[in-house]
Structure 1
């Protein structure tokens, strides 16, 4: 019985992470549409691809665990607020600051997930996602530091 509960908890936790990733995807799309700098657009497009891959990878794990992964964000996460804020932002600096705030959320969420104690194959996936999220945040911070 404990294994079933663990599996149900895994599915629930990973589904929450998938929803957060969908919210991140929406925020990235919104940011990319509004950026003026072509190099920033290109880099954020690459990061968007990472988030899409995270959804695919995490969804595969949820299916392997016997669950049905979410197909969209939950629209309650802080990233949704970020997306709404992005809609009114003008200027690359403001957009990058909003995206940095979003990346802080995803970094924190992945850090907590990595510390949860999943099976090794899930842990490896989460560590890879965390590495991506850290790289996203670091790049945004570096571009903001050059202002």
Structure 2
């Protein structure tokens, strides 16, 4: 799946779409945790889920500061992010991690774009860069771990 998040014309729309993206990611992480057979892998994935929960908290704060209503659920993409995890589960933990890596590709792209958004003030830009570093770390771990399996 290729994301368009980060291409929004306004910071309001960007924050709203990042909230949807984070909610979708959290759902995919929960699905992954429930489907992994290796509990050590599940534990690491849970720590990544916590990063996404923290990102969501910051984005909800940003929405409040901007005076916009923060989405309280994921969007239709959530079916895609969780569905590919369910399908990958038939092939085992390696396939689940590979599917999650593709989800992380989208979050990395979104935060790369957000970091360069013309309406990002220093505080939001700093958050977007931190979130980007988290997403790059998640993606790298998913990729490296799956390759070693």
The structure having more radius of gyration, on CA atoms, is 1
Which ranges of structure 1 fall in alignment gaps of 5 or more residues? Answer: 1-7
Specify the alignment match of 2:141 in structure 1.
139
**Corresponding residue of 1:35:** 36
1:5 corresponds to which residue?
none
Q: Does 1:125 align with 2:127?
A: yes
The 2-side partners of 1:116 and 1:103 are apart by 20
CA–CA distance in 1 between the matches of 2:47 and 2:68? 29
Alignment match, 1:70: 71
In the aligned structure 2, how far is the partner of 1:73 from the partner of 1:106? 14
TM-score normalised over the length of structure 2: 0.88
Summarize the alignment of residues 104-119 of structure 1 with structure 2, pairs less than 5 Å apart.
Answer: 104-117=105-118, 118-119=120-121
Which residue pairs with 2:84 in the alignment? Answer: 85
Question: Could you tell me how far 1:83 is from its partner in structure 2?
Answer: 0.7
- 1:55 is matched with 56
Q: CA deviation at 1:74?
A: 1.3
Query: Over aligned residue pairs, what C-alpha RMSD do you find?
Result: 1.4
Moved over 3 A (4+): none
Q: Distance in 2 between matches of 1:108 and 1:31?
A: 21
Give 1:4's aligned residue.
Answer: none
Deviation at 1:141, TM superposition (A): 1.2
How far apart, CA to CA, are the structure 1 residues paired with 2:85 and 2:29?
A: 9
The number of residues matched between the two structures is 138
Show CA shifts across 1:66-110 (max 9, x none).
1111111112x3x53131122232210110010000000110111
Q: Which has the higher contact order (CA 8 A, sep 6+)?
A: 2
User: Which residue of structure 1 lines up, in the alignment, with residue 6 of structure 2?
Assistant: none
TM-score normalised over the length of structure 1: 0.89
Structure 1 residue 26: deviation in Å?
Answer: 0.5
